[in-house]
Amino acid sequence: MIARNLISTWLLPLKTSDTGEDALKRMDEYKLAHLPIVNNENFLGLISEQDVIDYNNVNEALGNHQLTLKNPYITEHQYIFDALKLAYEFKLSVIPVVDAHEQFLGCITLQSLLSKLAETLSVDSPGAFVILEMSENDYSLTEIANIVESNNSKVLSTFLNTYNNSTLIEVVLKLNTIEIGPILQTFDRFGYSIKASFGNDENEEDLKERFDSLMNYLNI
């Protein structure tokens, strides 16, 4: 999924002639903490709610404000994970998208980004999550998939999470089944460390807690 296809067309940019008050009103309307500033079609940067507050003059034109986020954008042909990385790095509520000439095309909201990410990772498909922990040298997607498929199931998506200053990794698996007991037993028999899992044996509240933990694993 490329950035151009994720743009939210309803989100209108600010102009340099707009005031801080205009920016705050539109942020409140959109329920966002950032908005792009565009001069004609040229992307100038993002202004944050905090930028407006720190300037301490809501009647001043935005063209006179000091922007703390001048160049956080992705190009139209970059992939969804590039948008996610930028959003995480700068704690953004919107991700500007530009063309090859840095002409503003639109913005991706964090909400739409997470929705598309959920689709990409098959989060909304029925099935269980299994989180394995292992050394980088022991990681073999082929072997992991073979273990799952030997139990008449499939891996819908996988995601790797690394630790700082460690050779250990987490392998997050989304499976197409909630009957994961035999799969967990097979992983255990092959010597895999199962850090977390959830399937059909947990109530709705437990599932929500596990899903929130998964999002933390993915650094979202």
| Number of domain units in the chain | 2
Residue 30 and residue 42 in one domain: yes
Domain stops at, among 85, 101, 118: 118
- Please, which residues have CB within 8 angstroms of residue 69's CB and are 6 or more apart in sequence? 34, 45, 46, 47, 48, 51, 90, 92
C-alpha–C-alpha distance, residues 50 and 134, integer Å: 42
Q: Which of 113, 136, 162 minimizes the C-alpha distance to 8?
A: 113
Domain stops at, among 84, 118, 152: 118
Q: Which tokens in the block code for residue 154?
A: 């499939």
Domain stops at, among 118, 152, 176: 118
Q: What is the CATH number of the domain that holds 169?
A: 3.30.70.260
- Radius of gyration of the chain measured on its C-alpha atoms: 22
C-alpha–C-alpha distance, residues 13 and 54, integer Å: 21
pLDDT tens string, the chain, 220 residues long: the values are 899 999 998 999 999 999 999 999 999 999 999 999 999 889 999 999 999 999 989 999 998 888 888 779 999 999 988 998 999 899 999 999 999 998 999 999 988 888 887 777 677 778 999 999 999 999 999 999 999 999 999 999 998 988 888 999 999 999 999 999 999 999 999 999 999 988 654 444 555 555 566 566 555 4
Q: What is the CATH number of the domain that holds 87?
A: 3.10.580.10
- Please, which residues have CB within 8 angstroms of residue 193's CB and are 6 or more apart in sequence? 132, 133, 134
Range of the domain at 17: 3-118
Helices (H), 17-79: 20-30, 49-55
Residue 16 and residue 102 in one domain: yes
Residue 94 and residue 195 in one domain: no
Angular region, 138: left φ>0, alpha ψ -120 to 50, beta rest: alpha
pTM, rounded to two decimals = 0.69
| 74-75 vs 94-98, strand pairing mode | parallel
**pLDDT of the residue at 202:** 47
Residue 34 and residue 127 in one domain: no
Q: Which tokens in the block code for residue 206?
A: 């437990």
**pLDDT of the residue at 174:** 92
